[in-house]
Amino acid sequence: METKRRQELYEVSGRLAKVALGREKADLVVQNGTLVNVYSGELLEHTDIAVAGGRVAFVGKAGHTIGPDTKLVDAEGRFLVPGLIDGHMHVESTMMTVTEFAKAALAKGTTAVFMDPHEIANVFGNEGVAWMHEEGQGVPLKVFTTYPSCVPAAEGLEDAGASLEVEDIEAGLRWEGVAGLGEVMNFPGVVYDDPKMKGEIEATIRAGKTVTGHFPSDDQQMLQAYIASGVTSDHETVTREQGLARVRLGMNLMIREGSAWQDVKEVIKVVTEDHAPTGNITLVTDDVYPQTLVDKGHINHVVRRAVEEGVDPVTAIQMATINTARYFNMERDLGAISPGKCADILLVDDLQQMVPSLVIADGAVVARQGRIVIPFPSYVYPEKARQSVQLARKLRPEDFRLRSKRTTAGAGAGAGGTSVVGTTRVKVIQVIENSARTASATAELTVKDGYIQPDPQQDVLLLACIERHKGSGDISLAFAKGFGLKEGAVASTVAHDSHNLLVMGTNEADMVFAASKLAECGGGMIAVKDGKVLGLVEMPVAGLMSDKPLDQVVEEVRGLEAGWKELGCTIHAPFMTFSLIALPVIPDLRISNRGLVDVTTFRLTDVEL
């Protein structure tokens, strides 16, 4: 896309100059607005914007650019805001295809995103990345790709559907529209000179592109080694102190506010209390659910949250426009309303609320009052993309029984064949509400007939991770707490990052039913009780994305949320938290298809103590 936009600028630059001089007339003129100037930090009233060939030709009093065929838009004093840019996000987390996401994002004022499709990469590898990248090139939203760097995220600890090597990254970096390397999650590999990580980073630097990061650690020596290795940003910053440390070292601080991970309140203190310069700070979403897109917005919601926490509105807008463009070396085209740049313009009534009443992308009106007003191209994924759930065999109740190493099956059993033979102490994955991190907890659980039992009264649920890509038959079992389920089971093929089939419940019958139902429909998320579906979001595209329109996906997700609540769950965004319980690159304790993972040591560990 960079090459394409360079060519566009070369072709139209002569005309832009003529329009600026009044020698030719503009295609579009937006009149009488208040310009949000992200360069000077000013609000400039009574400003016009003349557009030609999809780019800005003139900013100021533009009457001399108006001809008989010029389209006019009266801003009526509304704020003229540059199109917003999300510097780090995963389209798959929206549960929609790129096309459907683009409709939702544009309507909220996002005109460019830098997506990291590492979710589909873990299922279909380079082929899956190519599908999403290709789809992104055809929509009115500017979709740039950061090529996935860590597939699988933790080699040796999990099994994904595919793997990407240095040569894949080198090839992908040559695709038009690939802006850099996706979040480098294997920070120990970077720091300790893993050949694959080193090769990927070096290839990206040679290509003159950006290496984006992921560093959930407070270790200052490792952080500086990580930066010195070529990684230049971090979106896993969750405290003010971490944020300040990154700013001081020249790292691009990406402050995240998604559906579940809400870091603005704490990390923005770097700006509001430490008064750090904001030129190297950007706002991102990372992971956003469909309901958030509809009810709150996209990157405009992150800007709103920064303003709510005390950031000046113009400064907040800078962090979601020009700062992001500069970070990805795309300031010539994006990030501001100035001559030569893409005419991505929002008309906003109130900078505190950041709700655009009109969205212009590349000089064309694409949305009014939150509704898309232009046709969108269609994109059809190949049939292979819908065949991603491959189980070795039909699941059985015994697949969800974890034998204790301290007892033998049937020991002490009475006439009915079932009895309590004792207890055992186990490690438990403790989830943390609104956080991507987990804690390592313990629990004393009952053992019946040699098998360790979940205990909903202690909020300890049985957890299973089933390999679903190659039909290997691998199933690992562990325990989790923090969700509050009192009955039933839940399951998901969205299980970051290897996206195996994740199941959690209070009883084996519902766990079998939930997992089997997802296998039948090609993947998704489900909540069940007593053999009945309470909520289901079908995601047949790679087991990650729905093929339905936004409004239908939103309704299905609301039904799923209600299902979780009926089972007793009380935490916010539970299925997002659940989907990350299998991510063995963020501390402390996780599950993979190979077993329980101690992320602090990057090793598999026993469930029983």
- What's the pLDDT at 506? 98
225, 422 Cβ separation under 8 angstroms: no
pLDDT > 50? residue 179: yes
Averaged pLDDT, 170-178: 97
Return the biggest CA–CA distance within the chain: 98
- What's the pLDDT at 13? 87
pLDDT > 50? residue 429: yes
pLDDT band at 407 (very low <50, low <70, confident <90, very high): low
110 found inside a domain: yes
What is the average pLDDT score of the chain? 94
Averaged pLDDT, 93-102: 96
Whether residue 127 sits in one domain with residue 210: yes
Whether residue 388 sits in one domain with residue 304: no
Q: Which residue among 335, 368, 395 closes a domain?
A: 335
Q: Tell me how far apart the alpha carbons of residues 451 and 421 are, in angstroms, rounded to a whole number.
A: 10
Contacts of 222 (CB under 8 A, 6+ apart): 187, 188, 191, 215
**Tens-place pLDDT, residues 143-170:** 999 999 999 888 889 999 999 999 999 9
515 found inside a domain: yes
**Tens-place pLDDT, residues 232-261:** 999 999 999 999 999 999 999 999 999 888
Whether residue 389 sits in one domain with residue 319: no
Whether residue 392 sits in one domain with residue 329: no
pLDDT band at 409 (very low <50, low <70, confident <90, very high): very low
CATH (domain of 319): 3.20.20.140
Whether residue 214 sits in one domain with residue 116: yes
Whether residue 400 sits in one domain with residue 260: no
Q: Tell me how far apart the alpha carbons of residues 371 and 103 are, in angstroms, rounded to a whole number.
A: 9
58 found inside a domain: no
**Tens-place pLDDT, residues 506-549:** 999 999 999 999 999 999 999 999 999 999 999 999 999 999 99
Whether residue 200 sits in one domain with residue 138: yes
pLDDT > 60? residue 94: yes
Whether residue 329 sits in one domain with residue 448: no
- What's the pLDDT at 5? 62
Give me the domain span that covers residue 497: 384-405+421-605
49 found inside a domain: no
207, 241 Cβ separation under 8 angstroms: no
Q: Which residue among 315, 335, 355 closes a domain?
A: 335
- What's the pLDDT at 330? 97
DSSP state of 429: E
pLDDT > 80? residue 117: yes
Q: In this prediction, what percent of the chain has a pLDDT beyond 90?
A: 89
* Domains: count for the chain: 2
pLDDT > 60? residue 417: no
Whether residue 287 sits in one domain with residue 212: yes
> How many CB atoms within 10 Å of residue 46?
13
Q: Which two tokens stand for residue 186?
A: 């294997």
Strands (E), 395-488: 402-403, 420-431, 438-448, 451-452, 460-466, 475-481
46 found inside a domain: no
160 found inside a domain: yes
pLDDT > 80? residue 208: yes
Whether residue 172 sits in one domain with residue 260: yes
Burial of 608 (C-beta count, 10 Å sphere; 0-12/13-18/19+): middle
Whether residue 392 sits in one domain with residue 257: no
Averaged pLDDT, 188-194: 92
Tell me, what amino acid is at 256? R
| Secondary structure (3-state) at 440 | strand
Q: Which residue among 278, 304, 335 closes a domain?
A: 335
- What's the pLDDT at 353? 97
Averaged pLDDT, 253-277: 95
pLDDT > 90? residue 418: no
pLDDT > 80? residue 412: no
**Tens-place pLDDT, residues 26-52:** 999 999 999 999 999 999 999 999 999
- What's the pLDDT at 153? 83
Whether residue 388 sits in one domain with residue 331: no
- What's the pLDDT at 419? 53
439 found inside a domain: yes
